[in-house]
Amino acid sequence: MMKTFKTLAIFLISALIWSCNNTNSNKKLEKASNNDSTISVNKRDSIIENVLSEKNEVWEDTTADIKFKDISISINRLILFDDDKQLNQIQKDTVYLYADLGETIEGQKITIVSSQLTNITIEQRYETSVTVMDDGPHCDLTEWKHYDSTWEKLKTNDKGQFIGDSYSEKDLEKFPVVEISELKAYVKKHCEEKYSQLISTIKSPTEYPSAVSVSRYFLRINGKRKNSEETSTKLIIIEMAMGC
């Protein structure tokens, strides 16, 4: 579901052991293999530690930068689809962004830069939707019913960076009570026929191959203009990749 640092670390370790595509990682393993026919446990662990350190530096530098006319926002460790170079432009007060599979803003550092606004606050909420999965392909019901969480103000760290709120797995599976027949009818109308067959026997939206997960995160940024009492509000809507 969500990509946490721990999950990424486990993935990298597995990828390293089974020969990942990272050039630097392969060079380290190749060099170690050439020196010794068998890599000792200590040597292997040392290599993994070095690779993770290098990867961590890359993750720390991976930021999504969103620029508005009077404020700039950087979200750490967030990879967005940006084929049309939208992030190079000055955004309108409301902007829609599209996150890569497994990305999240939970627990991420958010940096604000503005010479025009003061008393800046950020609020966060999320929305869940139903997705029906078919071992890869999936039909996301993002235009159907949702659970919408309440807005919560984000806290800051000792560097003045805002920290994205984190949620439990139970939180992220919240969804309105619905008649299962209503769900099946919507899927029949809006998804391919195979998806109706897949959910023909389910009793709830969270029963596989149906699932409930985050479909959108929302960030609302408020600040006051320094030369007046006028309030400036920006809304960032991050569309999440669903299914698996």
Round to whole Å and give the CA distance between 12 and 6: 10
- Predicted confidence at residue 46, as pLDDT, reads 53
Round to whole Å and give the CA distance between 142 and 204: 17
- Predicted confidence at residue 135, as pLDDT, reads 85
* Chain mean pLDDT for the chain: 82
Amino acid at 171: D
DSSP assigned state of 88: G
- Predicted confidence at residue 53, as pLDDT, reads 46
Highest mean predicted confidence (pLDDT) among 10-19, 48-57, 136-145: 136-145
Residue 61: pLDDT band (50, 70, 90) is low
Bridge partners for 112 per DSSP: 73
How far is residue 127 from each of residues 147, 192, 201, measured CA to CA in Å?
6, 24, 26
Mean local confidence (pLDDT), 219-228:
94
- Predicted confidence at residue 182, as pLDDT, reads 97
Round to whole Å and give the CA distance between 104 and 11: 17
Mean local confidence (pLDDT), 116-121:
96
Query: 31: closest CA among 43, 42, 13?
Result: 43
For 82-115, write each residue's pLDDT tens digit. 888 989 999 999 999 999 888 999 999 999 999 9
Decide if pLDDT at 5 tops 60.
no
For 28-41, write each residue's pLDDT tens digit. 334 334 444 334 44
Q: Are 75 and 98 in contact (CB under 8 A)?
A: no
Report the share of the chain in percent with pLDDT over 90: 66
Decide if pLDDT at 7 tops 90.
no
- Predicted confidence at residue 244, as pLDDT, reads 60
